[in-house]
Amino acid sequence: MFRRNFIKLTSLASLGLNSNSFVNDISHYLTLTFDDGFKKSSYRTADIFENYGLKASINIIASGHLKSFNRDPKWMPNHLLGNFNDWNKIKSKGHEIMPHSWEHLNLTKISFNQAFENIDKCLESFKINLDGFSESDSVFHYPYNSSNYTLDEYLLNKVKAVRAGGWLYLKNKLSNEIPSKKNKLRIGAWSHGPGLCDDYIEKYINDFLKSSGGWLVLNLHGLDSEGWGPISSKYLDKLLFRLLKIDYLSIKTIGEIIV
């Protein structure tokens, strides 16, 4: 190890470079993760992230594209949701598509057996319909960010990580610890709605940037007028442009961080 470092330092010196410029100084990680799978918003979100060389993180309802899906016509009208053709297209460009349940039930409000069945149905549908889906590498994003110990234990035997409300996993903290282990993770996220969430996102991020570091996960939904607590596409674009200039911050999907 010493020899390797010595060689590295020597070769950097020979190039006239300061070794500090090669040290990983990232102290803050940020994930923006978009739920529910609005077709128009998801394509646009993927484009915005792609323009900055970033991967978008999109979590979809496995039965959202079926006519029978009618969970919440106000916030998730069936005709606005995409289908697995859309998700495969977006995934083929390198973006992350993860499960956000079978039919968007609050899994803590039904019996355990019903919840387990619902989870299995969702993961089975992903295996059949989403190209290259790996259950053991996936992250399950709970509807309504609602979870409990039994559901987590059930899921963490199948998937790599679960995401639920920061109020459940983070207590009073804003951000997650940067994970040293990469499986059986419980990831806490914050979200805001039902109106436009730009101001709240701005505040969450500014507070986080002033903190000593960690991993902030913000849960978003659609863009502009789509879905609960939408973010405006113009603001999202400007936000990424601004954040990418911060040298101690890295913007990543959950999958990229726990890979």
What is the smallest separation between the CB atom of 23 and Zn ion, expressed in angstroms?
Answer: 39
Going from the C-alpha of 127 to that of each of 62, 98, 133, the distances in angstroms are 11, 11, 6
At closest approach, how far in Å is the CB of 72 from Zn ion? 9
In this structure, what token pair is assigned to residue 3?
């020899």
Q: Which stretch binds Zn ion (CB under 5 A): 14-22, 33-41, 172-180, 203-211?
A: 33-41
Q: How many residues bind Zn ion (CB under 5 A)?
A: 3
Give dist(CA 237, CA 2) in Å, integer.
44
Nearest distance in Å: CB 101, Zn ion: 8
Member of 33, 36, 81, 254 binding Zn ion (CB under 5 A) = 36
Which residue, 105 or 174, is less far from Zn ion as judged by CB?
105
Contact between 226 and Zn ion per CB under 5 A? no
Assign 81 to helix, strand or coil.
strand
Residue 166: left if φ>0, alpha if ψ -120 to 50, beta else—which one? alpha
Specify the residue, 151 or 249, whose C-beta has the smaller distance to Zn ion. 151
Task: Please report how close the Cβ of residue 66 comes to Zn ion at its closest, in angstroms.
Answer: 16
Tokens representing residue 187 in the block = 């990831």
Residue closer to Zn ion (CB basis): 64 or 255: 64
- Which residue stretch of 2-10, 35-43, 167-175, 198-206 sits at the interface with Zn ion (rule: CB under 5 A)? 35-43
Site for Zn ion in 132-161 (CB under 5 A): 143
Report which residue's Cβ sits closest to Zn ion: 35
What is residue 108's DSSP assignment?
G
Inter-residue contact 248 to 216 (CB < 8 Å): no
From the CB of 228, what's the least distance to Zn ion, in Å? 8
Any alpha helices (H) in the chain, and if so which ranges? 2-14, 39-51, 84-92, 112-129, 149-156, 166-169, 198-210, 233-243, 254-257
Q: Are strands 249-251 and 28-36 parallel, antiparallel or unpaired?
A: parallel
- Closest contact distance (angstroms) between CB of 35 and Zn ion is 4
Q: Residue 162 in 3-state DSSP?
A: strand
Q: Which of 28, 29, 31, 35 binds Zn ion (CB under 5 A)?
A: 35
The stretch near Zn ion (CB under 5 A) out of 34-42, 130-138, 154-162, 244-252 is 34-42
Sign of CA dihedral 126, 130, 134, 139: negative
Q: Which residues bind Zn ion (CB under 5 A)?
A: 35-36, 143
